[in-house]
Structures are given as C-alpha cells and as structure tokens.
DNA sequence: GCTTGTTGTAATCGAATGATTACTTAAAAG
DNA sequence: CTTTTAAGTAATCATTCGATTACAACAAGC
C-alpha cells in the first residue's frame, strides 16, 4: 500500500477546482487561520453564535471540521477572534477616514457633503465616517458579525468583549474625530439602524414595498445603490 | 393500584409553592398559553432563537417541555407567536401615547420636554414616544425579543415577519404620529441604539466605566435611573 | 533514504435538543 | 357514580453538534 493512488484516484490533477475536495490544498497555518476567520465571519454574521456550527464554518473555508476546532480550540474562541477581527476592521476604516481628512486628501468627497449637517471638522468627519460605515454595510459580514455579538450578551465572554468593543468605537469617534457625546450618540444610532435594516434584509424587498423603499432611501442616501447591488449579489451567491 | 397515593406522596398539600413541582397546577389552556408566551419572550430575548430551547421555556413557565411543543407545534411557531405579541405590545404603547396626547391627558409630561426638539405635535410626540420606548427598554423582554428577530433574518419565516413588523412600526410613527420620514428615521435609530446598549448590558458596568456612564446618560437621559434599577433587579433574578 | 514536524482528514463519542408516543389525573358532563 | 374531555407528564427517539482520537500524507532537514 504505497506508491500508488497517493492523493486522488484517476487524473493526477490536484482538486483545487470546486467544492468538496477530499483533502484541501496545503497552505501555512497562518494563512489558513485567516481563511477560516473570513469564513467564520460570514457564517456568524448570517446565523449568530448559537445558530452557527463549526462544521458550516469548515465547509465555508473548504476544510474539515476537526481542523477548525483544533486550530481555535473552541467555537467560542473562534467567535471571539472573528469578533476582534471585525472590530479591528471597523476601527481601521474610521481611522483611515480621519487620517485622510486631516491630510487634505478628501477634497473631492467634501463637495458632496450636506453643508446643513455642519461645515466644521466634526460635522464633515461625521458625514464621511457615515459613508465609510455604509461602505462596510454593503459587505454584510463585518457589521452583522458585530451585531450578532451585541445580541449575544448572555454569553459572558462575548458580552464582555462586545461591551469593550462598542466603547472603543465610541471613544474613537469622540476623541479622534472630536465629536460631542450627543453627536457621537446620533452617529452610532444611525449605524445601529443601518445594521438593523440589513439584518432584516430590507434591501431584498426594496422593489416590492414602497415603505421599505422610503425608509432605505432616507437612511442610506447616496449609498443605497451600492447596498442594493451588494444585496442582489449576495442573494445569487446564497 | 388505585385510591392510594394519587398525586403527591406524604402530605396532601398541593405543590403550588416553589419551583420544580412534579405536576403543574391545572389552568385553562388559554391562560397557560399566555404564561408560556411570557416565559418564551424572556428566554428568546435573552438567548435568541437558535440559542433557546423549548425545555428552557418550559422550565421558565413551570411546565414540562412536551406540553410547550404540543401547544405550539414547533419552536419556530412559538417564536413567531412571541414575536407577534411583542410587536403588538410595542404598537399599543405607541398608540396609547398618541391617543393620550390628542386627548390632552399629558399636560404634566409636556412640562418636562425639551422645547428645542420641536414644540409642535410631531416634535412633542416624538419625545413622548421615546420616553414610552425607554419604559419598555427597562423590561428587557419585549424589545430584546424584537432585536433577536431582527438578527435572525436568515430564518425565512422569522425574517419575513420581522420585516413586516419593522415596517408596521415605521408606518405607525410616520402616519399616526405625523412625523416626516427623516424624523421617523432618527426616532427609530435612537431606539436601535437603546436596544444595542441594553443588548451588550452596558447598564451593568455603569458604575465602573466612565465612558459607559457618559454614553448611557446621553442616550437614556431621564429614563436612566429606571433602567439602572431594572438592570440591577434582573441581575439579582438571574 | 530516513526521520520529523506540519497540515490535514475519517471515524466516532457523548451530550443536547426538538419532537413523538403513551400514559396519568383532575375536572366537567351525564 | 360513571363517562368523557382537557391538562399535563415520563420516557424515549432520531438528529445534530462540539470535541476527541487516531491516522494519513506532504515537506523539510539530515
């Protein structure tokens, strides 16, 4: 039992093509880790912590379930790492906007802002960050991952991390963008509304329901077309 | 095997006292139904759809698990009925505020409103409804039940019901309170933020974290003491 | 070639869970 | 008192799921 039928029977082609390969391509653990976290983010975002299985994450990542468990130890640890990753991406997106604004690199974007919402640095940054947030909304993974953590507060470890993460975001917007607490509150509130509209999949009924249309247009504004497009793409993907 | 040891051995006292009775008190199905829905609301609010078990609901209602399943057919049906009930309570709370306002019964409450937020009917109603919402937040059951439905959109039946419910609330606030779409949006956004702060249990770290303190005060305003009190009470209850 | 560590899977196990079946027992009907 | 109906449970079943164990195969060092 050697030297014959080493990997796949029949053709010598490695099975990197489509789904359900017998054995995944060998790649370094660090890269595999990131692939699993990416897959886990999508799965957890869609189905929540309790509703997700390590096997579904494994299938989404193209590997076997035991490998997922061995690499992260427990499902909870996997969730927490995916959560940290998502929070990090959100913080980075906000910091990038602030840095670009302060470097004067957003002259073009400033033309499209609403002057009524404030023409100083805080007012403009608030609008620019809202746009950055809507860009992330289109993804559906990052922000719904956070949202799922916010409603999983009964799991002690997840609740604690979610609290810390939310307060981190609050402080970033308040201190680095320089918004007043009330303005930060309104900014976060708009974000939570966007999350909710995405969570209930309102874009999917945009064309059939005038009320949904009005609420989406009023909330997402210029970012609506992009979100609708992403919604359709993700429905095709399943 | 008759006439002796009919219900409980030993004392003839019926076991209506505390928890874990062998057989629950017999009450009409309609009343039992409401008790189960009340219990289910608390359980689903806390742990979400996937994270809740029919057995936990049964224990919270003081009856056996098979009875829960037989009365509602499936866990999904139970969730949908609890969701309808929660939505109904929210809609009724808003309608009550509007009716009381239009009947001139809220003269005392009007004294405490912020004149800067609008002194016409829409502006005053928006503030009064926000207060009514915060009253519900203190409960933690009703609103988190809705929130859990909002993030369970991947379950087709739940997602559809959640969409309809959200749009019902939107239309109510827009048409019956007479707010503009933008004002309704801001109103709903504040509500979603409150839900989120409750979801991550921010009131539980109010005293230990100055940032949490600032955000909670800024969001809940006059209703903060009540929410903090409710938070402590629910922590004691577990 | 031989060894060794890394990447990966198949098989399986125990606990949890939604649902079903069959059975009690209190109360209403006659 | 007897019968019937409604309220409720114990026992159990088939799945599902997170985790564990044991093993296979590829690559690098020697």
From chain B, pick out residues whose CB is under 8 angstroms from the CB of A167: 209, 211-212, 215
According to DSSP, residue B25 is labeled: P
Q: Give the pLDDT of residue B30.
A: 98
Q: In this predicted model, what pLDDT tens digit does every residue of A149-175 receive, in sequence order?
A: 999 999 999 999 999 999 999 999 999
**What per-residue confidence (pLDDT) applies to B220?**
96
| pLDDT, chain A, mean | 91
pLDDT value, residue A137? 86
pLDDT higher than threshold 60 for residue A87: yes
Q: pLDDT digits over B138-150, tens only?
A: 888 999 999 999 9
* Cα–Cα dist A117/A121, whole Å: 11
Q: Beta carbon of A67 within 7 Å of strand C? A: yes
pLDDT tens-digit series, residues A196-236: 999 999 999 999 999 999 999 999 999 999 999 999 998 88
Q: Kindly report, residue by residue over B185-219, the tens digit of the pLDDT.
A: 999 999 999 999 999 999 999 999 999 999 999 99
- Asked whether residue A34's C-beta has any atom of DNA/RNA strand C within 7 A, the reply is no
Residue contact B212–A159, C-beta within 8 A:
no
The pLDDT score that the predictor gives to residue A7 is 37
Higher pLDDT, B150 or B22: B150
What pLDDT does residue A19 have? 40
**Quick one: pLDDT at residue A15?**
38
- Reported as a single tens digit per residue, the pLDDT across B42-59 is 999 999 999 999 999 999
**In B52-180, alpha helices (H):** 54-61, 65-72, 75-102, 107-110, 121-139, 142-150, 156-171
Q: What is the mean pLDDT of residues B79-94?
A: 98
Q: Which of B167, B181, B201 sits opposite A153 (nearest CB)?
A: B201
How does pLDDT run across A169-200, given as a tens digit for each residue?
999 999 999 999 999 999 999 999 999 999 99
Nucleotides of D under 7 A from a protein CB: 6-11, 16-22, 25-27
What pLDDT score does A24 carry? 87
Query: DSSP letter string over A122-191?
Result: HHHHHHHHHHHHHHHHHHSSHHHHHHHHHT-TTSHHHHHHHHHHHHHHHHIIIIIS---HHHHHHHHHHH
| pLDDT over 70 at A21, yes or no | no
pLDDT in the model for residue B8: 35
| Contact (CB<8Å) B212/A47 | no
Is B53 within 7 A of strand C by CB distance?
A: yes
The confidence band for B15, taking pLDDT boundaries of 50, 70 and 90, is: very low
Tell me whether residues B166 and A196 touch, CB distance under 8 A.
Answer: yes
Residue B19 has pLDDT above 90, yes or no: no
**Which residues from B are below 8 Å from A196, CB to CB?**
150, 166, 192
Angstroms from A15 CA to nearest CA on chain B: 31
In this prediction, residues A25-36 reach a mean pLDDT of 97
**CA pair distance A85, A97, nearest whole angstrom:** 19
């Amino acid at each position: 039992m050697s030297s014959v039928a080493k990997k796949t029977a029949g053709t010598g082609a490695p099975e990197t093509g489509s789904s359900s390969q017998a054995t995944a391509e060998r790649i370094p653990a660090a890269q595999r880790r990131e692939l699993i976290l990416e897959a886990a983010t999508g799965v957890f975002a869609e189905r929540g912590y309790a509703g997700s299985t390590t096997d579904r994450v494994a299938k989404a990542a193209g590997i076997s379930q035991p490998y997922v468990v061995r690499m992260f130890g427990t499902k909870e640890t996997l969730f927490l790492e995916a959560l940290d990753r998502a929070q990090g991406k959100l913080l980075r997106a906000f910091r990038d906007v602030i840095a670009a604004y302060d470097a004067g690199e957003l002259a073009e974007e400033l033309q499209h802002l609403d002057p009524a919402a404030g023409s100083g640095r805080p007012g403009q940054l608030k609008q620019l960050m809202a746009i950055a947030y809507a860009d992330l909304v289109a993804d559906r993974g990052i922000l719904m991952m956070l949202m799922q953590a916010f409603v999983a507060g009964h799991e002690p470890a997840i609740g604690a991390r979610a609290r810390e993460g939310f307060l981190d975001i609050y402080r970033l917007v308040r201190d680095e963008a320089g918004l007043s607490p009330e303005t930060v509150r309104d900014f976060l509130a708009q974000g939570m509304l966007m999350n909710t509209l995405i969570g209930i999949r309102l874009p999917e009924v945009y064309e059939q329901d005038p009320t949904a249309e009005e609420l989406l247009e009023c909330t997402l504004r210029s970012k609506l077309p992009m979100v609708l497009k992403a919604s359709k793409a993700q429905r095709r993907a399943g």
